[in-house]
Amino acid sequence: MITLKSPREIEAMRQSGAIIAGMHHMLQDLIKPGIDTWEIETKSRDYIESHGAVPSQVGFEGFKYATTISVNNEVAHGLPRKGLHLKNGDLVKVDTVVALKGAVSDSAWSYAVGEVTPEIQKLMAVTKKAMYLGIDQAVIGNRIGDIGNAIQQYTEVENHYGDVRQYIGHGVGPTMHEEPQVPHYGKPGHGIRLREGMVITIEPMINIGGWEVDTDDTAEDGWTVTTSDGSWSAQYEHTLAITKEGPKILTSQDAKFDAKYL
């Protein structure tokens, strides 16, 4: 069932989203060559809890951590690992879900560790732009397929990357994963029609190689998703509301860059 959020609920989700944005700002300064992924986890959890919020991923289907931390060819759901020190040139993705007084928001970001290659810089730039191309389609009257098609055309057709199929965006709030499902591929004019009050995530996972991944069902640790061909992967994710004024990002990290979405 799809739940439509009131302006009051959307504002509450914006407040929880601001905590995630603040956490990501903190990580921009924290993530450098040599950092242990466990420090990313502990500092992120401390930030969330010190702002009166709850890291919603803790306890979800047995997950133990406030963040997922996925490195290089790891696509999603990577575990924070003590003793895993990031190296210059690595690409790390940090994802978290926050609840503040029951209002839930969700956001992931990709970080270059030190200096990455031009190939990885391009992957990050394309993936981030793809998320925003999807957000631009999130308007009343459009359909879910319009979001996915915009992302797929840019990533696969124009840039020849792999657009992951197995893990997709979703509705959010008051629980972590709700209807509708929001694939990052699809046909324009197909799927559920977008309505005012829907709150969804758009979170493309884009691989340098093919779109196929080894899922968490087959992962040695039961969680970490990796690319099937070993190629590196990037991800960006925002939570956004469908409104009469257009899509409104609730997890924005940059008021100037996101001005038209606020």
Is 106 among the annotated ligand-binding positions?
yes
**Tokens at 65, concatenated:** 């951590």
Q: Is 237 annotated as a binding residue?
A: yes
**Cα end-to-end span (Å), the chain:** 27
d(CA 72, CA 115): 14
CA distances from 72 to 36, 109, 156 (A): 15, 13, 19
Tell whether 177 is in a known binding site. Answer: yes
Q: Is 160 annotated as a binding residue?
A: no
Would you say 163 is a known binding-site residue?
Answer: no
Q: How would you write the chain as a 3-class SS string?
A: CCCCCCHHHHHHHHHHHHHHHHHHHHHHHHCCCCCEHHHHHHHHHHHHHHCCCEECCCCHHHCCCCEEEEECCEEECCCCCCCCECCCCCEEEEEEEEEECCEEEEEEEEEECCCCCHHHHHHHHHHHHHHHHHHHCCCCCCEHHHHHHHHHHHHHHHCCCEECCCCCEEECCCCCCEEEEECCCCCCCCCCECCCCCEEEECCEEECCCCCEECCCCCCCCCCEEECCCCCEEECEEEEEEECCEEEECCCCCCCCCHHHC
Type of residue found at 229:
D
Query: Binding-site residues for a divalent metal cation, please?
Result: 95, 106, 170, 203, 237
Query: Binding-site residues for substrate, please?
Result: 77, 177
Query: Binding-site residues, please?
Result: 77, 95, 106, 170, 177, 203, 237
